[in-house]
């Protein structure tokens, strides 16, 4: 196995796309809650979550695990946006502060690509 010393921007973009896809899949699962096996939201969730897994696997070809894997935390931010925008979930100061810390961590870790 060859060691990847740098992380390509392609890996970063793919990992953020994976986070978006998995968070979207989970959002659709939330919409499907109680809807039964034939609810289209459930199946859309499976497709999006699976796509996220594929994107994540491909992303790992373009960089270091220690840089790319933490980028999946962007999914928490996306889930927060979905919850507030579409599910009428409250946005509190601690939740907002935590989100800012997550984004700061993503920026710090993602910026360490060399």
DSSP letters for 44-112: HHHHHHHHHHHHHHHHGGGS-HHHHGGGGGHHHHHHHHHHHHHS-----HHHHHHHHHHHHHHHHHHT-
pLDDT, position 109: 79
Q: DSSP assignment, residue 8?
A: -
With H, G, I as helix, E, B as strand and everything else as coil, classify residue 40: helix
pLDDT, position 3: 55
pLDDT at residue 40 is higher than 70 = yes
pLDDT, position 105: 86
In this structure, of 3-7, 40-44, 51-55, 86-90, the range with the lowest mean pLDDT score is 3-7
């Amino acid at each position: 196995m060859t060691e990847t010393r740098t992380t390509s921007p392609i890996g970063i973009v793919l990992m953020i796309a994976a986070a978006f896809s998995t968070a979207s899949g989970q959002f659709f699962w939330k919409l499907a809650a109680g809807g039964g096996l034939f609810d289209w939201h459930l199946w859309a969730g499976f497709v999006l979550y699976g796509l996220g897994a594929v994107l994540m696997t491909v992303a790992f070809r373009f960089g270091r695990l220690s840089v790319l894997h933490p980028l999946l935390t962007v999914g928490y931010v996306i889930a927060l946006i979905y919850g507030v925008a579409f599910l009428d979930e409250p946005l509190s100061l601690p939740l907002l502060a935590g989100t800012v810390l997550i984004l700061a961590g993503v920026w710090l870790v993602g910026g360490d690509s060399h």
